Structure 1
Amino acid sequence: MSVQAMSWALTQQLVTDSHTRHVLLCLANYADQSGRAAFPAVSSLALDTGLAPRTVQYRLRELETIGLIKRGNQAVAAAYISQRDRVPVCYDIDLSRGAQDAPRSERGAPDDATGCMPEQNGVHATTERGAPCAPNPPINHPLTILNQKESAKAPERGGKGKAQKFDPLTAKPANASDQAWADFCEMRKAKRAPLTLRACELIAKKLANHPEPDAVLDKSTTSSWSDIYPESVLPGAGAKNGKPSAFNNLPNHTPDMYQGDGNGPAF
């Protein structure tokens, strides 16, 4: 469950239809903190929302047409579902299209209320007996304020605390493609087992001099393996999957290479 994605789904005003908002909120419940990798089955969303499965499908298409959701990395869902004909669609939610803030005129007490001191944006119009003015109400969401406080404390810590978060995409093996490595990293992240620098170094060492590094990574991704097993992929497996094989310099066999008469080959 992602608190960030669900908070965004509750406060966004781009979708006003009640059924569509309900489907979006339940879909955000399955996403990560960035709004990605949400792959619930239609039957699960129907159970969560109380809507018919066909209605859920219509609302998902509507959200996809608006641009609030889009199809993400399907390999993440395939890593968890063994039956290929039952793999649900993996969606990414666009959290950059944030919620609208309330108009400034709606904040504070109304100016024409009987017996009430008029307020504007949370500040008293007059200060009585040296009392401090009331602070302006925050316009940021609670999660945003929390993130701002954490970022403000970061420079004070200096070298103390945890080191900067490691990105495994920067430690790609030299002989592997960007796509195969990115899919493997995404699968490890979905399993709540992100790669460390040491793990990336060991994987790169195993893939070194292997003729089919992408095939090894793809097999581990589709099988949801935390490690790679180069011995499980035979040479030429990449060519079977539509990728160029490393064995492409083999000689072409012609009839004149074999000696023999009309009765058969000579031994």
Structure 2
Amino acid sequence: MSWALSLPVQTLKDSSARHVLLCLANYAGSNGTGAFPSASTLAQDTGLSERTVRYKLDDLEKSGLIQKGNQAIAAVHIDRHDRRPVVYDLQISRGANPAPRTKRGADDATGCNPQQNGVQPGTERGAAVAPNPPPNHQGTEEQLQQREIDAALAEQNNAAIEPQDDRQRFAMFATWVPNEKGLSDQITIAGLPADAVPEAAIRAFMGFFVAKPSTIDTSAGWCYRLVQWVKRERVKASGQGKAPDFDDTSWANDLGDL
């Protein structure tokens, strides 16, 4: 986060984007990589809307201050691909202010004091050189950073089990369960009885679309597709004087038109 705080205004003038970057940096590792808070988490952290957060992330990426990182990091912690946030790496080599040179006790070639770990940048007359910190000091800081990372990962795991945004489009998956209200609404709109969509119909419908990962839709959209297919099968079976056979997979030949 110190890198994000040190960015000059000329590098990032948008205050909202700066706020998003500061919060994003809080989830990154010590080297600035592996930050994957969800948009809803950043919205809570910043007080901005999720849409604004996404816009600002796009702006930060276009400006070169962040870039997409190793997406496998999120996959390790979140099984559902449709619920994984984007993993970002901070470009900490860009935009940071150079370290100031000290006037006394500094190496002219590097601008750094030979006493690397001491508190005092230089020694005045009569002042003792500050001792190096104990060997376990750095380890303590690393442990603190690891605890912060673990806390961020735990938050992501909790976010993964939250209800999915109904507006999010996703491919069909084997454990999909139709939204109860969405399915009920579509059944009512279609003028079908409440029990018109049996489990056999849902399984057959899912089986076909799991094999077509390129087809994506929202939760409500999938409910609409399911009910429309059931309605069509009922009409077809009624014309033949029989009940629809949902175990018959011949319907899959033209289901892609739904």
TM-score, with structure 2 as normaliser = 0.39
TM-score, with structure 1 as normaliser = 0.38
If asked which structure has higher relative contact order (CA below 8 Å, sep 6+), I would say 2
